[in-house]
Amino acid sequence: MIAQLTTTLDTSLSSKPHKIEGMIQVFTSTQRNFYTDVMVQALICAGHGTPVLVVQFLKGGINQGPNQPVQLGENLDWLRCNLPRSVYNSQLEPAEIQALNLLWEHTQKVVLEGRYSLIILEELSLAINYGLIPETEVINLIQKRPTHVDLILTGPEMPESILNIADQITQIRRSCHD
């Protein structure tokens, strides 16, 4: 015998478009890591016509900065900080701090504009932990972003305050077996 389920159709909801709210995803690891899954997600989304932005806060060496995004296809923009090198600690020269601040200001503006549906903030936790980007500004940006914008934040040792508001947390673990 098969049970029958009856439901009532609420016609008041069917006439209104349903908006899907963007998610906050965190990818973290115990060490600095390249998040292949995140990049695959960016490429798939861009390939399906979704505007995607990847922002790398602590990678440099290619004289890029916020005014010179690299377009990796029609829907995928990639930004790196205008640094002469990649950053591995909190010891930055004044010009490097200025370059990072410009990229952070640009990133905040772009997120709030809502032009991109997916924005990846790569190694954001390191920039926060090094004292280069204020944690309170990140939380404020997450809370004020347009509702359709998905944010992916990556890096080791993500602050607890960000983990508490994330919709999804993925911890990358590696184990070596000899």
Closest CA to 34 of 174, 128, 131: 174
Give the closest residue to 119 by CA, choosing from 36, 33, 23.
Answer: 23
Is the pTM of the predicted complex or chain greater than 0.85? no
pLDDT tens for each residue of the chain, 178 residues long: 444 444 455 555 455 555 667 899 999 887 776 677 888 888 889 999 999 999 999 887 777 777 777 788 889 999 988 888 888 888 888 988 999 999 999 999 999 999 999 999 999 999 999 999 999 999 999 999 999 999 999 998 899 999 999 999 998 876 655 5
For the sheet containing 168-172, what is the strand order? 70-71, 76-80, 52-56, 118-122, 150-154, 24-29, 168-172
| Cα→Cα distances 14→17, 18, 20, 77, 148, Å | 7, 9, 15, 36, 20
Under 8 Å between Cβ of 156 and 88: no
pLDDT of residue 151: 97
pLDDT tens-place string over residues 97-116 = 999 999 999 999 999 999 99
pLDDT number for residue 2: 45
Domains of the chain, by residue range, sit at 20-165
71-82 pLDDT, tens digit per residue, is: 888 899 999 888
Q: Residue with structure tokens 């292949």?
A: 36
Q: What is the pLDDT of residue 61?
A: 72
Strands 76-80 and 70-71, by their bridges, are antiparallel
- Give the domain 20-165 fold: Rossmann fold (3.40.50)
pLDDT at 118: 96
Q: What is the pLDDT of residue 7?
A: 47
Cα gap 35→39, rounded to integer Å: 7
